[in-house]
Structure 1
Amino acid sequence: MKGMFNSRWKFVLIPVLVVAILALVGYVVMWLWNHTITEIFTVQKISFWQALGLFILCKILFGFGGRKGGGGWKRAAMRRKFAKLSDEEKERFKASFKSSVCQWERDWYEDGPNRSREDENDGQVNKE
C-alpha cells in the first residue's frame, strides 16, 4: 500500500482528481442554475463550460474559502511575539490596532445603532 502513493502515482493521481472534482463542481453548478435560477428568473439555461466559468469567476471575486486571520500556525506565532512584548509595548500595539483596524466599529458604537439618516442632515430628510 505504501508503494502505491510514491511520487509517480501522485504525479498521475492528483491531476486526475483535480479534473474530476472540477467536472463534478461544474456539473453541480450547471444543474443548480438550470433547475433553480431559470425557474425563478427568466434567464436561459447554461452549458457545462459556462457553469465552470461562472464557478471560477465567483471564486476569483469572492475568495477561495481561506480561513480569516491565517492558519493556526500564524496565530500561534503572533501569540509568541505578543507574549515577548513588555506591558507598555502591548498597550501601544493595542491602541495602534484599534485606531487603524477597528475604526468603523468604534464609529458605530459612538453614534449608536439606531442613528437615522435625519441625524446626518440636521433633521432634514434626504430625498434621493
Structure 2
Amino acid sequence: MKRYWILNMITLAALAILALSTVVMLLWNWLVPALFNGPSISFGQALGLLILSKVLFSSLKQGRWGGDYLTRKRAWKNRFEEKWRNMTPEEREKFKSTMKQHCSKWGWMPQPSDSQSHQESV
C-alpha cells in the first residue's frame, strides 16, 4: 500500500510540474510577444524558466529543503526522544496503541481485527 502512495505522489508531482510549465508557457506566449515584441517560448523553455526562477528567488537556507528545515526536524526529534524517555511503560503502550489506531485509519498500517481490539480493551 505504501508503494502505491509513493507512486501516486510522484505522479501527482509530475503532473503539477507539467501543468505549471504549460501555464507559464501559455501566459508568456500570450503576454510577452504582444506587450514587448519578445519571442514565444516552447514547453521546455517554460520548464527551464520555472527552474531558473526557483533558483533565483528562493533561498537554500530557508524553507522546507534548506538547513532551517533540518534544524527544526532535529529539534522535534530531540523533544520527542526526551518525552519518550520520561514516559512510563504503560504510557508508552498507550501511545503505541493510539498511533496504531490513527495510522490504520489512513491506511498506513493494517486495521486491527475485532478480536485484537477487544483483547486490548480488556
TM class, shorter-chain normalised? Answer: 0.3 to 0.5
Q: TM-score, normalised by structure 2?
A: 0.48
Structure ID, larger Rg? 1
Q: TM-score, normalised by structure 1?
A: 0.46
The higher relative CO (CA closer than 8 Å, separation ≥ 6) is in 2
Higher-helix-fraction structure:
2
